[in-house]
Amino acid sequence: MNEIELQTPLGVLTLKRFPVRSGDRLRAWDAADELLINHLDEQQLLTHKDCVLVFDDQFGALTSYICLALAKSNKPVVVDVMTDSFISQQAIIENLTVNGFDSTNSHIRFIDNTAIPDKHYDLVVYKLPRNHGYLADVMQRLRTCLSEKTAVIGGAMVKYLPKNALSLMENTIGSTKTSLAAKKARLIFSSFDPTLQPDNPYPSSYSLEEIDVELVNHSNVFSRESLDIGTRLLLAVMPESDDDLIIVDLACGNGVMGVSAAQLNPNADLIFCDESNMAVASAQENFKGHFPDRSATFNHADCLAGVDPNSVDLVLCNPPFHQQNTVSEHVGWQMFKESLGCLKPGGELWIVGNRHLGYHVKLKKLFGNATLVDSSSKFVVIKAVKR
């Protein structure tokens, strides 16, 4: 067995972690996935089901196993898959395909995590997200799809399972208990209580005096309670022009940089890109709310996928230093390289980042130039021009 083969009670699944990187020794599943899979098998939880929801499956271990188990029953069972991440969605699709399951089959549906699903679920299986506000938001909206007969079962590594996550499940779904720990993971069992009436603060909003806007934020958006201090630095030096520019807000979050750029560049066309569905939905609501008569493009994609080479005048970016739950410099580097490809000659990439990340050196290596535009004790704004 190697690091891409997961032994399950029903056979071996081949699972790759995404994005695929040579030499990456991290696996595409953890002990919480294994615990969930073994529990589903031992309790025969996939028999006599009509509709199953899989929430926050990172790379497709749970979805692939569920499809494997359901393939043995003759009944068409709907499997709804809800994830915020475009990269997770790609991983789930690819891993389903590698294991012989057709993700375009009408029984597998990827559903919007900002909406209320239109189904009743017999079984909800989830990995506990790190962002508990997001968990509460999704669980609160799922209530209309559940009944006392629904089994709601989560899995988490013990180190990411604080007590308040359990009280949050108690308050949004109903009585909640955990299994004993096995390989540092636990299962979380919740019983649906129809009498609960939990509040949901999401989508929430805050106003930003600097650029005189109100910003809507869905629950899994970066900086959803207040403006990031790095972003604040870039907003203060945002370039402005009356030209017909194409401007990309790369890794847009709630779209604050793109909205500010649209204010200062009245003839520009904006493109907003993020791999988080909730980020793209928030950016879209914010742009449309402030510029009802201007069109823009919204890409739920990995970095600049879908943006034409040599087509862009200005890329604005506050790069992430996480990919999924793992700290990684790769994604920032990928964004810089793809920006170079998408910019027109003479086009500019403006980034803001923590000083210690050394973006200046990286941009100089790639673009052959990098100019410090502004700095604070912690952050730098750097501009690089495509020659």
Q: Token digits for 334?
A: 């990928």
The strand pair at 5-8 and 11-14 is best described as antiparallel
Instruction: Provide, rounded to whole angstroms, the least separation between the CB of residue 304 and ligand SAM.
Output: 8
Q: Which of 45, 188, 331, 381 binds ligand SAM (CB under 6 A)?
A: 331
Binding status of residue 253 toward ligand SAM by CB under 6 A? yes
Instruction: Decide: is 231 part of the binding site for ligand SAM (CB under 6 A).
Output: yes
Q: Rounded to the nearest whole angstrom, what is the least distance from the CB of residue 274 to ligand SAM in the complex?
A: 4
Binding piece for ligand SAM, criterion CB under 6 A, among 35-43, 156-164, 272-280, 372-380: 272-280
Among 18, 29, 134, 222, binds ligand SAM (CB under 6 A): 222
Does the footprint of ligand SAM cover residue 252 (CB under 6 A)?
A: yes
Q: Which lies closer to ligand SAM via its Cβ, residue 199 or residue 212? A: 212
Cβ-based nearer residue to ligand SAM, 61 or 279? 279
CA distances from residue 285 to 54, 206, 215, 289, 296 in whole angstroms, order as listed:
27, 14, 9, 6, 11
Q: Which residue lies nearer to ligand SAM by CB, 83 or 190?
A: 83
Min separation Cβ 243 and ligand SAM, Å: 23
Instruction: Give CA–CA dist 226/277, Å, rounded.
Output: 19
Does 320 sit near ligand SAM (CB under 6 A)? yes
- Residue 275 as a binder of ligand SAM (CB under 6 A): the answer is yes
| Residues whose CB is less than 8 angstroms from the CB of residue 288 and which lie 6 or more positions away in sequence, other chains included | none
159 contacts: CB under 8 Å, gap ≥ 6: 184
Is residue 56 involved in binding ligand SAM (CB under 6 A)? no
The interface with ligand SAM within residues 23-42 (CB under 6 A) comprises none
The interface mask with ligand SAM, positions 295-314, x = CB under 6 A, is -------xx-----------
Residue from the set 36, 53, 279, 307 that interacts with ligand SAM by CB under 6 A? 279
Tell whether residue 281 is a contact of ligand SAM (CB under 6 A): no
Choose one: 98-106, 162-170, 181-189, 316-324; the region binding ligand SAM (CB under 6 A).
316-324
Applying CB under 6 A, which of residues 318, 332, 347, 350 lies at the interface with ligand SAM? 318
Closest approach, Cβ 254 to ligand SAM, in A, equals: 6
- Which secondary structure element, helix H or strand E, spans residue 344, and what is its range? strand 343-354
Can you tell me which of 274, 313, 338, 348 binds ligand SAM, judged by CB under 6 A?
274
Neighbours of 189 (CB within 10 A): 15
Beta strand spans in the chain (E): 5-8, 11-14, 51-55, 78-82, 108-110, 123-127, 151-157, 176-178, 185-190, 204-208, 213-217, 246-250, 269-274, 296-300, 312-317, 322-323, 326-327, 343-354, 371-375, 379-385
> CB of 156: closest distance to ligand SAM in angstroms?
21
Answer positive or negative: Cα dihedral of 309, 311, 317, 323: negative
* Beta bridge mates, 176: 190
Diameter of the chain measured on Cα atoms? 65
Encoded tokens for 340: 């170079």
Instruction: Yes or no: say if 153 and 195 are a contact pair by the CB < 8 Å rule.
Output: no
- Which H or E element spans position 327? strand 326-327
Binding site for ligand SAM (CB under 6 A): 222-223, 228, 231, 251-253, 256-257, 273-276, 279, 302-303, 318, 320, 323, 331
